[in-house]
Chains A and B, each alone.
Chain A
Amino acid sequence: MSSLNLKIDKPILIYGVLSSILFSFILFNNIGERHLYVFLIGIGLGVSLYHASFGFTGGWRSFIEKRDSSFLRSQLIMLGLAVIIFSVFINTKSFIYDGNMIGAIAPVGMSVIAGSFIFGFAMQLGGGCGSGTLFTAGSGNLKMVVTLVFFILGSLIGSYHFDFWTKLPSLGSISLLDYFSKIQTILIQLILLLALYSLISKLDFNKNQKINHRDITTSASVFNFVKGPWPLILGSISLVFFSFFMMQVAGHPWSVTFAFGLWGAKIANFIGINVESWSYWQLSYPSIALENSVLADPTTVSNIGIILGALIASALSGKISKFSKINKKLILAAMLGGFLMGYGARLAFGCNIGALFGGIASGSLHGWVWFLFAFLGSVIGVKFRKFFY
C-alpha cells in the first residue's frame, strides 16, 4: 500500500520528536553545539535511509540472485558523488571549526580481508548492514533489534581479538591522495566506479534482457517527500549531502560501528569485565571513549540520530505500526548475523559506511578491498541465508 494512503502515526511521531528534543537539549547544554549538529545530521541520515529504503544488504542480494542492478547502481552513483566531494575537501579546513578534516584511511591487510568477508556473509543473515541495522531497528523492526544486540556483542569480542588480527600481514595504510593529486585521485576512482557500473549493467541486461537506467530516479509508488518513499537516487544524493556535513562538523567521515563496540565495552565494564586491560581499549581514542560519557562519542550521537530519524520517518509513512511476530529461525539468523557483523566490522576497520563509503570517498585502498571481499562474502551469505529465511 502506498504511504499516501496510510495515516501518520501521531503518538509515535510525538515520541520521536520529543526524544529528539530531549537529546538535542542534553547535547547542546552538556557537551557542545557540534555534538548537536552531529545528532541533527544523524536524524537526516535516518530519514533518508528509511524513506529511500537505502540498504546495501538487500541491494547486493537482488543483484546476486536476480541480477537486478538498480540498488547497486544507486550505490555506485553515491560513491562517485562522495569521491568527488570528499577528495576536494579532505585535508582542508572545515567550514564549521578551526581545523583540518581527515579521511577514513586504514591499513590494507589480512584483518580487512577476513573482516569484510565475514561482514558481507553475515549481513545476509542478519538482514541489514551497519546503517541498515540501525535504521530498520529504529523503524520498529524487533528482529533487527536482536541483530543490533548481537552486533554489539560481536563488536566487543572483535575488540578483544583486535590485537591478534592487526598483527597479521598488512601493506599498511594506502591513500591515493598520498600518491596522486586530487584531480588524479578523483579520475582514477571515477573510472573504476564507471567500469563497475558498466559491468553490473551488462550482467543485468544479459540476465533480464532489459535495463532501465531511470529506474533509480522513480520511487516504488507515488513520490512524497515527507511520507516517502523516495527514489533511490534521492537517497544517494541525500546521504552524500549529510555525509559531507558530518565531515565538516565532526572532522572525519560518517561512521557507525565504533559505537557498537563502545556500548558493548561499557556494558561489559558495568558487569565487572576488565575491558580496560584489552589492548584495543588502551588505544588513544577508545580508552578515552570508555572513560567518557557515551554521549560524548560522536559516533554514538549520530547513531541515536539515525534511530530517531528512522522512527520519525516511519511514523510519517504510517508503516511503523506494522509490528509482526518473528519466528525462531529468523531470530537465530539475526543473532548469528549480528554477532558476525560486529566481529567482522571490528577487524575490517568499519562497516559498509565507515570502511566502504568513508574509505573509498577518502581515497583509501582499504575501502576497495572491503568492497571486494564483503561482496564475495555476500555471495556465500545469500546461499547460506536460505536455511533461515
Chain B
Amino acid sequence: MKLIYFFIITLFFGVLIFEHNNKGVFYNPLFHEEGGNSINSIAMPCGLGGSKNHNHK
C-alpha cells in the first residue's frame, strides 16, 4: 500500500511538472487589476480573486 501511495503521488507531481514544461507561463495571475464587470464577478468563484472588483488584463 505504501508503494502504491508513493507511486501515485510521484506520478501526480511528475505530471504537474511535465504539464508546466509543455504549457509554459504566458500570464501570471498574481498580477491583476481592480475594476471588473458582472462577468468577471463570477469568473473565479472559489475565492481565487473571487469575485468582484477584479479583472484580468
Contact = CB atoms under 8 A, between A and B. Distances in A.
A140 to B, nearest CB: 6
B8 A145 contact: yes
Interface string A312-351: 0000000001011100000000000000000001100111
Nearest to A290: B23
A258 B46 contact: yes
A285 B17 contact: no
A164 interface: no
A294 B50 contact: no
A355 B19 contact: no
B42 A296 contact: no
Contacts of B56: 284-285, 288
A214 B9 CA distance: 38
A298 B16 contact: no
Contact of B44 (A26, A34, A285): A285
Contact of B29 (A22, A99, A296): A296
Contacts of B19: 266, 293-295
- Contact-residue size bin, chain A (C-beta under 8 Å from the other chain): 35 or more
Given A107-B42, A284-B40, A350-B46, A298 B20 contact: no
B29 A173 contact: no
Interface in A20-75: 22-23, 26, 30-32, 34-35, 38
A146 to B, nearest CB: 10
B16 to A, nearest CB: 6
B38 to A, nearest CB: 9
Contacts of A212: none
Interface string B3-36: 0111011000100110110011111111011101
Contacts of B32: 99, 251
Nearest to B26: A292
Question: Which among B2, B28, B44 has the highest number of chain A CB atoms within 10 Å?
Answer: B44
